Structure 1
Amino acid sequence: MSRTPDFLAQGHDERDPSPWLALYLDQSTPLPDEVKAAWLADSSSGSRQYLLPFLRPVARLTIILIQVVKVFVPRNWSHSKLLHRLLAWGLKRFVSPEANWLILRHFHLGSQVLGFIGRNSPVPVGTSPLEPADIDALKDETFLKHDLNLFNFVIRLNQALRDKGLVLAKAPEVDFSMIRDPGLRLSDMPRGRLNFLDLQSAIELFTPLYQLMLTDNDFWRAANSLQLDETIGIYAATLLGAPEHLILVNNKHPLVPLSTLRAGHRLVIHGLSTEMLHSLLRRMQAAQGATPTP
């Protein structure tokens, strides 16, 4: 059974209104209720309030120190498989159920969004979906593959359009068949005594480990992949003929790479942007009366 967030269990007190309840009830951000409840429960946790302010500066200092150390390490030094085993171990034992659920959802939703763009492009482009069923499935270098998939997709899509002398435009008939609920259940996530770490704290904690155990190229590519949020948003909005849906996709300009020091915070924005874009696609799918594939 998934727990009811405190801000929903306590109700509304007009003399002491909950900001989390206000955000949950607000409908300007397109998220399903269960996703918004999990996101806000994680965001309002004691871990995020009291632990994150201490973790964030330590994590950023560690990133700087590791960058100095890696000057003296062979450029191809990498232990990706070990990294992913450590990440899976840490997620299962220390990260909150809500955060783990949102992380797993992200791979499914991101794959569906790329599939949507690839299918509706004037030149259809294939994708390599990542659909981990549980945390253990992440050991198959899923985080690294996620970044590779994104850049490879952008390159394949635009190379195909250039080869045909075409540009992305509004699709005459939009195919939503790949957009569906991932089928992951919050109640299936680990709920041990130590599963308390919120999503943002976990990301800040794991980012230096990610940097340490991957090559510089892999780490910089992972950080710079966050610049493509607007790019993917523009693709989807162009196919839908609905540019107004870009308003909540904001992770800085794709042509201006930022320092890796803020990668943890921007990764959270990346996850939220993906959730909202997927939610918008599901709403438009429902309005169209489309039936998703099983």
Structure 2
Amino acid sequence: MSLSDGGDTAEWKTDPFDARRYDPNDPDPWLALYLDHSLPIDPQAKRALLLGARSWSRRWLFPVSRPVVFLFFCIVKVLRAISPRYPNLNGLLHKSIHWGLRTFGSPECNTLILRHFHVGTELLAFLKANAGVDPALVKTVPLKPLTLKDLEDNVFLQHDLNIFNFIIELNMALRAAGKEITPPERVDFSMLSDIEPDFETFPTGPLNRIDIQTAVEFYTPLYALMLPRADFMRASHSLQLDEIVGIYIGRILGTDYHMHFVKNGHPLVTLSTLQAGFRLMMHGLDCEAMHGWLRVLKARQEAGLPLDPRDPTGGPELA
């Protein structure tokens, strides 16, 4: 079918990421990023992220509102210095997140947020299965919400608890056994999926226009206001644990290639909580990239290929 055929023309003209829209005299930066494969990110996640990046809310509401949000964040930090424990409104926080996303979040924003908990759950399950310790010694709560209502079940706070408890319990088990994480005889990828769950149909009302980065920017100071200071600090510091998770994955795989995807900084040098909004976006990107790379390696293993494309011998994981 030629581009002049009506139905096909209408389809590609309404799709901002159709390669047939390419004009060498006016190349679209978002099309370039969509077609780029330097990061092994799931196509659904990349599309949702880029639709948000090119949206009205990200281009206008985000930069205009940032000074106001920053000022509010500074006021919250002063209040939390005075009263670090109270108020503790965790239940109200999760209900407000649900309400805000259902009322204002775009379908792409809501897709990325629910996906993130599935990605995090599978990454921890991968580490748990391949770290060489008794899995019973490392406890996590699987988080795989399918609806925005599911977020009310303490999902955000539990997400932070999961990663810190995982690191503590894993390293306690390794130290007790006098072991380090080393490549297993065969890497277990069985827990990794393409993450295409049956999410609810997200609202598409006239107000559902807020992209994920703008939503994160607005909710970060609310998170600090409605949680005790210790809970917010733990949540903020958890965003820098991507590098630790990446190192663990590297020890399992025997390759550090995926570390090129991790850009959030090692938590031994902590960053300001005022940067938490941007680092939360980077955290989501890091996790999607690591998860995507592991799925690539899973496919290579199933095809009988070496996990590391640079290793022509195959290695012990194919034994």
TM-score, normalized by length of structure 2? 0.86
Indicate the residue corresponding to 1:16 in structure 2.
26
State the alpha-carbon separation in 1 of the partners of residues 233 and 84 from structure 2.
Answer: 16
State the alpha-carbon separation in 1 of the partners of residues 195 and 134 from structure 2.
Answer: 23
State the alpha-carbon separation in 2 of the partners of residues 52 and 9 from structure 1.
Answer: 28
- The offset of 1:257, in angstroms, is 1.1
Does the 8 A contact of 1:5 with 1:41 survive in 2? no
Does the 8 A contact of 1:111 with 1:130 survive in 2? yes
Q: Percent identity?
A: 48
Indicate the residue corresponding to 2:75 in structure 1.
65
Does the 8 A contact of 2:94 with 2:151 survive in 1? yes
- The offset of 1:187, in angstroms, is 7.8
Indicate the residue corresponding to 2:265 in structure 1.
252
State the alpha-carbon separation in 2 of the partners of residues 56 and 152 from structure 1.
Answer: 33
State the alpha-carbon separation in 2 of the partners of residues 223 and 25 from structure 1.
Answer: 32
State the alpha-carbon separation in 2 of the partners of residues 72 and 280 from structure 1.
Answer: 44
Q: Which amino acid aligns with 2:116?
A: H
Indicate the residue corresponding to 1:205 in structure 2.
218
State the alpha-carbon separation in 1 of the partners of residues 199 and 86 from structure 2.
Answer: 38
1:103 aligns with 2:116: no
Helix, strand or coil for the counterpart of 1:150? helix
- The offset of 1:70, in angstroms, is 2.4
Matches within 5 A, 1:264-275: 264-275=277-288
Does the 8 A contact of 1:179 with 1:282 survive in 2? yes
Residues 1:9 and 1:245: Cα distance change in structure 2 (over 3 Å): closer
1:80 aligned residue (90, 94, 97): 90
State the alpha-carbon separation in 1 of the partners of residues 20 and 73 from structure 2.
Answer: 40
Indicate the residue corresponding to 2:206 in structure 1.
193
- The offset of 1:5, in angstroms, is 4.6
Moved over 4 A (4+): none
Cα offsets for 1:199-255 (capped at 9, x unmatched): 110000001110010000000000000110100011112101120110011101220
Does the 8 A contact of 1:101 with 1:185 survive in 2? no
Indicate the residue corresponding to 1:145 in structure 2.
158
1:183 aligns with 2:193: no
- The offset of 1:94, in angstroms, is 0.2
Matches within 5 A, 1:133-172: 133-172=146-185
Provide structure 2 residue ranges, at least 5 long, that are not aligned to the other structure. 1-13, 304-319
Q: Which amino acid aligns with 1:84?
A: H
- The offset of 1:10, in angstroms, is 6.9
Residues 1:132 and 1:269: Cα distance change in structure 2 (over 3 Å): same
Superposed CA RMSD: 1.8
Indicate the residue corresponding to 1:239 in structure 2.
252
- The offset of 1:289, in angstroms, is 1.2
1:218 aligned residue (207, 231, 234): 231
State the alpha-carbon separation in 2 of the partners of residues 32 and 248 from structure 1.
Answer: 14
Does the 8 A contact of 2:247 with 2:259 survive in 1? yes
- The offset of 1:186, in angstroms, is 7.0
Cα offsets for 1:175-199 (capped at 9, x unmatched): 0111012333578222111110011
- The offset of 1:38, in angstroms, is 1.4
Does the 8 A contact of 2:17 with 2:34 survive in 1? no
1:120 aligned residue (108, 130, 138): 130
Q: Which moved more, 1:237-246 or 1:137-146?
A: 237-246
- The offset of 1:74, in angstroms, is 5.8
Indicate the residue corresponding to 1:284 in structure 2.
297
Residues 1:144 and 1:5: Cα distance change in structure 2 (over 3 Å): farther
Does the 8 A contact of 1:95 with 1:196 survive in 2? yes
Indicate the residue corresponding to 2:11 in structure 1.
none
Provide structure 1 residue ranges, at least 5 long, that are not aligned to the other structure. none
State the alpha-carbon separation in 1 of the partners of residues 227 and 48 from structure 2.
Answer: 31
TM-score, normalized by length of structure 1? 0.93
- The offset of 1:71, in angstroms, is 3.2
Does the 8 A contact of 2:147 with 2:199 survive in 1? no
- Higher Rg: 2
Indicate the residue corresponding to 2:187 in structure 1.
174
Does the 8 A contact of 2:58 with 2:213 survive in 1? yes
- The offset of 1:67, in angstroms, is 1.4
Q: Which amino acid aligns with 2:156?
A: F
Helix, strand or coil for the counterpart of 1:196? coil
Cα offsets for 1:80-114 (capped at 9, x unmatched): 00100000000011011101101000001100000
Q: Which moved more, 1:56-65 or 1:204-213?
A: 56-65
